[in-house]
Structure 1
């Protein structure tokens, strides 16, 4: 008995062609009320992140954005994404629409989760697979995000892998820029700034971080960049600037609910206090950071 391999990519190409040639809005528009009811049932609200997979023209993503959530829609039909963007602009809703194949998303998410949990080898394996799958399905946005996640993991999770991580992050910037993915570009620029801070190349670090700041739009993005800028200022013994930037990072991170960023910036602030021999303030600040780390169950960041 012989078996024939199924070419799933060919099947998806035909499916994509069908979605892109049909008049889907005539059907999709009638489903908007379902998206609104779904958002209500899920209690979607401000400061939450919502991912609408196979979003079509964005009914669910738009419903989430109307409730002030940070909404992203992913689909592989370019025309439907264009219609979603037009609807978001018409309603003045900040929704991000990305072209992507949902099949590779779980691998990327699993890799990120493994890294956060401290399972570095498994996480890196997942992230490398996510990069390969994104290349195979010719999805530049997903590839850029997978490269960015892999580069960040190499930089933060494994000592001595900064050089490889930097190479991957440079590739992420190139792919993200070509794909018009501002979010990924911000992250990769910031992470390259972090690499330079770690290497003691303060001027180059500042240059990368200024570029990241120019691209940043959200409070979460600004909080993360300010954290690394504060770290760089601390390395230059410019403590007034360091505490100003780290303090602003902590406030922004707390305001947007990014408690891991808040914990990270507090830890760098505690280190700066320690370098100034302010032991009591260092102890109090580090305690705040550790309380947040435990609250978030951020195992990889525990000492």
Structure 2
């Protein structure tokens, strides 16, 4: 949001508000304690994955609205916000295409070993890694909101057999998509992509039991939130060959700890929670966030 702020600053200041934009630096987010340094007179905030805890809401008596820049709401204590009468909004639908593109980047790297081949060629080698044909392979998508639907569209473009699980999506599915129960999706899919929000219901949704349902030649791709997967169970499944590999844009602890065994696994493609980060996506989300902020403060 900070990089886009100059384009929107006048829209906010002309309403009589002062804008504070503290530098985040190399960190992922602000803690509640750090945010409370700016609590005096704070009436609205555009937040990323910052810690919007009960402590934060208890300490900001003048706060009227929080606009969550992006989609995920797991960093917000919505019960505490409601107790203080604070309106919470996110910017839904702004990153569907970007995250779907990222998901397919992981799929293609897992299917064709591009990262491994690139490293080998740079060393002077000339490997012939056998790949996987995507056409007719089953792509299972867990979470069929805006991002899941964009992933499905790309899967159809690759002539994949696309299935999805989402308890909140009514039947019938869009043409060319089959809705399945979770266990059937896991047992039949070659590629399983997580695109669901992190909630109490999806925390560790993919654990040892559900990893055990997956095919031995299957790949897990997580572009949702790290805690949707039990990382300890995933590492065990990868080490014993229970599944063939994984593409991970997100992790239970971020940045990924230096001692994580995932760093040493050749069958894992690692990201840095960056699937939505494109110039167009950042611009789109920032405009939506400021639109919603102004709308809420104008009530």
TM-score range, shorter chain: under 0.3
**Taking structure 1 as the reference length, what is the TM-score of the superposition?**
0.24
**Taking structure 2 as the reference length, what is the TM-score of the superposition?**
0.24
Structure ranking higher on relative contact order (CA contacts 8 Å, 6+ apart): 2
Higher helix fraction (1 or 2)? 1
Higher strand fraction (1 or 2)? 2
